[in-house]
Structure 1
Amino acid sequence: MIIAIGSINPAKVSAVRNVFEMMEKAEFAPAAVPSGVNEQPFSDEETITGAVNRSKAVLKLKNADIGIGLEGGVTETPHGMFLCNWGALTVKGGGTYVAGGARIPLPEEIAVRLRGGEELGPVMEDFAQKENVREKEGAVGIFTNGLVTRGEMFTHIAKLLLGQYLYHNN
């Protein structure tokens, strides 16, 4: 079974590998594919759309059995700007399953920069004075003092996706 991952980001790829390795004869095929949304998704809907687009694009590109798309974004709420994370699993010749992950508020000093047109990854590198934040702990890791990392957050989403797939295909 070929499981295509619509990203080459290490946090996303390892999350999918760790969860889907239980699938019999799983072969993983990561690839950079476009999300079809803004570099910085600004709503749940836009972030979901990005995840679905990635899952469908990588499924086709790799001629896979399953395509997985994971997308991080932000969303405005009455309580401030929150991180949001969504995933999609598209089955060859079948449907698409969607799942969302943890949310955490962003400090206003970060939100202001995002509203001004900057992207979260570079803003977090500047804020935390670290490189490759999006490939390592992510904003969630920084703002939870390392208790929840970006990889763990995407692992949770991958489990939700696999669970739905198994429920509907057993």
Structure 2
Amino acid sequence: MKIIIGSKNPAKITAVETVFHSYQAEFISVNVPSGVRDQPFSDEETIKGAINRAYSALKEGGGDIGIGLEGGVQKTEYGLFLCNWGALAEEGKPPIISGGARIPLPKKIADRLLSGEELGPVMDRFTDKEGVRKKEGAIGNFTNGQISRSEMFTHVVKLLVGQYEYRSK
């Protein structure tokens, strides 16, 4: 089995490899566009980005399965929440979709996103670190290390794989 991951982000690659560890699979990661804004601003846009990445990865890598993982934010009456979505693509089949953890962003971070900035660079400046999106992510920072970005996406991929296995029965 050949699994194509629609990202070069280490947190996303680790999530896919962790969940598919029991499969006899070759993993290939490719840079593919999400087809949405760099900072998705709704569940719909984030889901669309994940689906686009999954099908683009499948096509680009010529695999059996394409996986797309996308992080975004969702505005609610309780503030701006992190959201994360995943999609699993197979040729000729509808996508399998799953979503994961949500937490509110602090107002000072949310305000910067609402003014047009992207979460990754905002988090780098906020934490005075480089590449936060490839490591602990905003989720890791704002959960005091209880959940890393890779763990967050691992949960999403588990939901994808469970549905994939159910559909394959």
Q: Deviations over 1:45-95 (max 9, x none)?
A: 000000000000000001110000000000100000000000000012322
Q: Does 1:156 align with 2:155?
A: yes
Q: Which amino acid aligns with 1:22?
A: S
Q: Which amino acid aligns with 1:17?
A: E
Q: Does 1:9 align with 2:9?
A: yes
Q: Which amino acid aligns with 1:66?
A: I
Q: Which amino acid aligns with 1:98?
A: I
- Residue 18 of structure 2 aligns with which residue? 18
In structure 2, how many angstroms separate the alpha carbons of the residues matched to 1:119 and 1:95? 30
- Residue 144 of structure 2 aligns with which residue? 145
Deviation at 1:130, TM superposition (A): 1.1
- Residue 97 of structure 1 aligns with which residue? 96
Q: Which amino acid aligns with 1:6?
A: G
Q: Does 1:113 align with 2:97?
A: no
Q: Does 1:129 align with 2:146?
A: no
Contact kept in structure 2, 1:64 and 1:92, CA below 8 Å: no
Q: Which amino acid aligns with 1:28?
A: F
SS for the counterpart of 2:27 is strand
In structure 2, how many angstroms separate the alpha carbons of the residues matched to 1:106 and 1:157? 20
Contact kept in structure 2, 1:88 and 1:98, CA below 8 Å: yes
Q: Which amino acid aligns with 1:112?
A: D
Count of aligned positions: 169
- Residue 81 of structure 2 aligns with which residue? 82
Stretch deviating more after TM superposition (155-164 or 92-101): 92-101
Q: Which amino acid aligns with 2:14?
A: S
Q: Which amino acid aligns with 1:125?
A: D
Q: Which amino acid aligns with 1:152?
A: E
- Residue 27 of structure 2 aligns with which residue? 28
SS for the counterpart of 1:67 is strand
Percent sequence identity over matched residues? Answer: 62
Q: Which amino acid aligns with 1:39?
A: D
Unpaired stretches in structure 2, ≥5 consecutive residues: none
Deviation at 1:131, TM superposition (A): 1.0
In structure 2, how many angstroms separate the alpha carbons of the residues matched to 1:95 and 1:37? 19
In structure 2, how many angstroms separate the alpha carbons of the residues matched to 1:92 and 1:130? 40
SS for the counterpart of 1:18 is helix
- Residue 168 of structure 2 aligns with which residue? 169
Output the aligned Cα RMSD: 0.6
Normalising by structure 1, we get a TM-score of 0.98
- Residue 65 of structure 2 aligns with which residue? 66
Q: Deviations over 1:97-150 (max 9, x none)?
A: 000000000001001100111000000011111111000000000000000000
In structure 2, how many angstroms separate the alpha carbons of the residues matched to 1:95 and 1:108? 37
